[in-house]
Structure 1
């Protein structure tokens, strides 16, 4: 990481929610996605990112909201860079917590954000207060109250939407390929193997997959493995073991991809989430 960039990351022991505060100048991170809901506030500068096929410019006080699996990147278009803080909310935790607010979920649905970037001072304040209480390890009752306030406001941005896989607008072949990659996450999957599993040629498969998910299959598999690596590292697994388990050539290979996506090394991420020393 460049000397002028920094990341401060922590994880709440009770909820598993990760909290992150960071500053970047120039290029921040390559396109990637998370398997968590992201909610954050830009503190300083302009945070520029692409998401949902739109370029967004988040300025101080704005709240950004990303769903699991949404591809996004990050850049600082101004010389002073940008600073932001953010929470990573586990989908199962979020669905469970808001179940008292929403009526029973429609069949085959999931929680979704209507907008990616919004101006809402009350939500921005609640996000910042929730971040601060978790990040600084306040008393449990203080953390819980801050999260309740955030959830009370965030539900105004949530709605139930139909899950991706039955959507007739997206090619069936892309979803079949996606399911295959999830099922063979730990294997050295080749394009020929994936094309045979989907009963199409490699070129049609790549076009369908990129149209549906914004990434080529090989890039999607890397992101899938990186998301899994975050979980294993947070549990304390050594980076070298994680790299081997997930099919990376070696620890350095995992480290290069991890750094490009998240802005810190696997060892640093592991240490901040698990409080275990490097191995």
Structure 2
């Protein structure tokens, strides 16, 4: 990592929400995705990232909103870099809280963000206050009040979508391949195996998959493993145990991919989330 870059990370014991404050200059991180909802605010500089096939520029006071699985990268286009604070919201936790707090939330729908960037000052304030309450470990009632204010502000930016097994906007081949990868994420899958499952050749599969999800199948598989690695490391499992369990060649192989996606080593992430020694 660039020596001028830094990351602060903590995890709230009650909700499991991760709070991250970071600063980057130049290249921040490669294309990747998370299995959480990401809600953050740019504090300083220009935060450039690609998401939903659009290049976005977030400046101070803007809120960025990413859904689970949305591929994004990060770059500082100006010399001073950018600083942001962000919350990782577990999808099951968020949906449960929304259904409990707001009667208008449909029971047969799933929440999503209407836009990737917002200039809503009320939302920006709510994100910042929730971030600092959680990151600083404020009193439980203070944290809960800040979270409720965040949820109330988010409702203006949520859209509820009908649950469906297949997305009509994406090629069926790509969706079948994605589901197979999720079901066999920790096995040594070959591209030809995946293509046979989908009934096409591997070149057609790769083109359809990248067009649908923005990553090649092997890169998507690695992201699946990294998402699971975060969960296991946060529970206190060692990087060596996690690498072995998830099909990485060894601990250093896990470490290379983990740093590229999150700019943290697995050991550092484990220590910050679980308060355990390396």
TM-score (normalised: structure 2): 0.97
Alpha-carbon distance in 2 for matches of 1:265, 1:167 = 35
Whether contact under 8 Å (1:106, 1:160) holds in the other structure is no
Q: Return the alpha-carbon distance in structure 1 between the equivalents of residues 43 and 9 of structure 2.
A: 16
Report the CA distance between 1:210 and its aligned residue: 1.1
Q: Is the aligned partner of 1:243 residue 2:243?
A: yes
> Following TM superposition, by how much is the alpha carbon of 1:168 offset from its aligned partner in structure 2, in angstroms?
2.2
Given that 1:233 and 1:266 are in contact with CA atoms closer than 8 Å, whether structure 2 keeps it comes out as yes
Q: Offset of 1:167 from its aligned partner?
A: 2.4
Counterpart for residue 160 of structure 2? 160
8 Å contact from structure 1 (residues 61, 124) kept in 2 = yes
Q: Give the aligned CA root-mean-square deviation in angstroms.
A: 1.1
Q: Are 1:76 and 2:89 matched, yes or no?
A: no
Partner of 1:143: 143
Contact 1:258 1:265 in 2 (8 A): yes
Task: Give the whole-Å Cα distance in 2 for the aligned partners of 1:24 and 1:102.
Answer: 40
Question: Contact conserved, 1:11 with 1:17, CA < 8 A, in 2?
Answer: yes
Cα separation, 1, equivalents of 2:220 and 2:103:
32
Alpha-carbon offset, residue 18 of structure 1:
0.1
What is residue 115 of structure 1 aligned with on the other side?
A: 115
Map 1:18-33 → 2, pairs under 5 A: 18-33=18-33
Point out the more displaced range, 53-62 or 155-164: 155-164
Q: Matches of residues 1-279 of structure 1 in structure 2 within 5 Å?
A: 1-99=1-99, 100-103=101-104, 105=106, 107=108, 109-163=109-163, 165-278=165-278
Matches of 1:258 and 1:34, distance apart in 2: 12
Note if contact 2:185-2:224 (Cα within 8 Å) is conserved in structure 1. yes
The alpha-carbon deviation at position 166 of structure 1 amounts to 2.4
Alpha-carbon spacing, 1:102–1:31, altered in 2? closer, same or farther (3 Å)? farther
Aligned 8 A contact 2:105 2:160 in 1: no
Q: Which runs of 5+ in 1 are unaligned?
A: none
- Return 212-221 or 13-22, whichever deviates more: 212-221
Q: TM-score, normalised by structure 1?
A: 0.97
Q: Contact 2:7–2:23 at 8 Å: present in 1 too?
A: yes
Runs of 4+ with >3 A deviation: 162-165
Deviation, structure 1 residue 196: 1.1
Q: Which runs of 5+ in 2 are unaligned?
A: none
CA deviation after TM superposition for structure 1 residue 232, in Å? 0.5
Deviates more, 1:124-133 or 1:96-105: 96-105
Aligned length: 277
Provide closer, same or farther for how the CA distance between residues 214 and 163 of structure 1 changes in structure 2, counting only shifts above 3 A: farther
Q: CA deviation at 1:207?
A: 1.2
CA distance in 2, matches of 1:13, 1:201: 47
SS in 2 for 1:211: helix
